[in-house]
Structure 1
């Protein structure tokens, strides 16, 4: 699977582990950085890069890591077509893909330990959208909200 990965300075150590693990498992990684935890930077920059790669079809899914995961999730969800999920457990990770067709996983490097984070990543990566009618119906309603918000700003 082709996966975009990005992290701000707070997510660097965990992000490195995620990249290493996913590559070892045979995934093709598009790495948007950062790799220098000593330089402060801003999570919205990485959320935009990863989210645009997902939205444009350059990759199948994305993974974002910041300190809490919250900021990256908020920023990624501002991009039309991106459905980012902040997960700190494996159930939410696979459920977000299976039922909500989420395409970006957000993790908090200061919230989950590295081993649990890798389990969460694997749960997200290996899950697939079920395509059940009830989930499709709900996603259409989410798309309607997004469309109506865009129209309201015009």
Structure 2
């Protein structure tokens, strides 16, 4: 089982907590780094904090959530070593793992409901990287990093 870091902004606390419970019940180790209070907060700092844990190897994978998933994903992807994609369907979640070896998933709490979000999370977590020709492309992505 994987060690997974979760973070969100204020708009996505409820969904993040539901995801944390769901993946813990599946046997994964969860590191939920908050926030826990609904006051307005800035998604870039939460995306970065989770991404740094993944990039450092403290966590195997990360899941970040904000209103649309877009902003927190952009912040996470600024950290070297992170490949984070926003997914709103299970096909995309499988593909970012299988073809892009994504190590983080972003979701939009104002875009997907809890049921679909949990299905997307399961697709992300249950799909292995295929390697092969995709490894060449992932290496090309890594070469872009500073």
TM-score range, shorter chain: over 0.9
* Distance in 1 between residues matched to 2:69 and 2:24, nearest whole Å: 22
From the CA coordinates, give the structure whose radius of gyration is larger. 1
How far the C-alpha of 1:123 sits from its partner, in A, is: 0.5
**Residue number in structure 2 paired with 1:85:** 85
**Residue number in structure 2 paired with 1:48:** 48
* Distance in 1 between residues matched to 2:21 and 2:144, nearest whole Å: 37
Spell out structure 1 runs of 4+ moving beyond 3 A: none
How far the C-alpha of 1:144 sits from its partner, in A, is: 2.2
Deviations 1:21-48 (A, max 9, x none): 11111110011101222x0101111111
**Residue number in structure 1 paired with 2:143:** 144
**Residue number in structure 1 paired with 2:9:** 8
| DSSP-derived class of the 1:80 partner | coil
When the two chains are superposed, the root-mean-square deviation of aligned CA atoms in Å is 0.8
Deviations 1:40-83 (A, max 9, x none): 10111111111011011111100000000000011000000000
Deviations 1:63-107 (A, max 9, x none): 000000000011000000000010000010011011100000000
**Residue number in structure 2 paired with 1:130:** 130
Answering whether residue 26 of structure 2 is matched by residue 29 of structure 1, we say no
| DSSP-derived class of the 1:15 partner | helix
Gap runs ≥5 in structure 2: none
Count the aligned residue pairs: 145
**TM-score normalised by L of structure 2:** 0.96
Gap runs ≥5 in structure 1: none
